[in-house]
Amino acid sequence: MNPQSPKEITDYYKHLSLFWTDLIHLMASKPQALTSTGPMRAFATSSKKIATELIEINEKLMEFNKFYTEYYKQLSDTWSVAQKKVNQKVPDVPHDVEQFEAFKRIWIDIFDNDFTELFDSEKFGENYGKLVSKELELTKHWTNISNVILQSANLPSKEEIDEVYKELHALKKRVTKLEIELKKKEDKK
């Protein structure tokens, strides 16, 4: 195989890495089982999950960087245009207090206007939405890695804690409903 495109290269290394982690995992699982006890056994069996997550993080990081670069490009382009407008409006360096105050006002007004226009634009909103989305995907991978570590220490994962929160929320709702019904019955008496 002779990978050419960036995707092919990523896929190749992903396969290569997974092949070896899989193989090492299979080869090592028996001695690991023999030598490890308690929580570390769980960590050993889950170590493949961490490797997979790290590979995927790498992929997501590339996509994240694409939107992150675009984010800073938009900010920097807007800054340049705004600065040019300021330079056109105030060609001379301010020499006294009044001139300085006028310069400050012009600078702030032009920059605020231009940046508000950017933040209000479709292109900014779209890129920002994608940037946050990629950041969340990275967070998700980090959570998955943390879950492996938590479970190896016999601690509940995020999903398990969420389940408890959900149950608590549902229970509270039921109790409130029952309390209201009880109050209505008492009021009727």
Partner 1 sequence: MRSETRIDPKLVEEILKFTRNVVDAPKLVAAPDEINLEVTPHEIAQVIDKTRLLHYKPLTDKQHKTPLLISYALINRYHILDIHPEKSWVRNLLEQGFDVYMLDWGSPTSMDKYLDFDDYVNGYLDSCVEFIKDETSTEKISLQGYCTGATIATAYTALHPENVKNFIATAPVIDGWRDTTVISNLAKHIDVEKMVNTIGNMPPEFMYYCFSVLKPFEQGIEKYVNFFKNIDNKKFVDNFLRVEKWLGDTPPIPGELFKQWIKDIYQDNLLIQNKMFVGGSHIDLKKIDMPLFTQVAVGDHLVSPECSMPLHYAVGSQDKTLRIYPTGHVGMIASSLSQKKVLPELGQWLSERS
Instruction: CB nearer to partner 1: give 12 or 111.
Output: 111
Of the pair 29, 143, the CB lying nearest partner 1 is at 143
DSSP character at residue 49: H
Binding site for partner 1 (CB under 8 A): 93-97, 100, 104, 107-108, 111-112, 115-116, 119-122, 124-126, 128-129, 132-133, 136-137, 139-140, 143, 161-162, 165-166, 168-170, 172-173, 176
Q: Quick one: 42 or 150, whose CB is closer to partner 1? A: 150
Query: What secondary structure does DSSP assign to 6-39, as a single string?
Result: HHHHHHHHHHHHHHHHHHHHHHHHHHHHHH--TH
Please say whether the beta carbons of 21 and 29 come within 8 A.
Answer: no
Kindly state the smallest distance separating residue 38's Cβ from partner 1, in Å.
28
Residue 143 to residue 145: CA distance in whole angstroms: 5
Residue 164 CA to residue 76 CA, distance in Å, equals 46
For residue 116, the minimal CB distance to partner 1 (Å) is 6
Q: Check: CB of residue 14 under 8 Å from CB of residue 51.
A: no
Our CB check for partner 1 shows the closer of 35 and 121 to be 121
| Min dist. Cβ of residue 75 to partner 1 (A) | 10
Contact 13, 21 (CB under 8 A): no
- Give min distance, CB of 181 to partner 1, in A: 14
**Of 161 and 182, which CB lies nearer to partner 1 in the complex structure?**
161
Least distance to partner 1, CB of residue 121, Å: 8
CA angle 86, 123, 79 (to 5 degrees): 20
> Using an 8 Å Cβ cutoff, are 49 and 162 in contact?
no
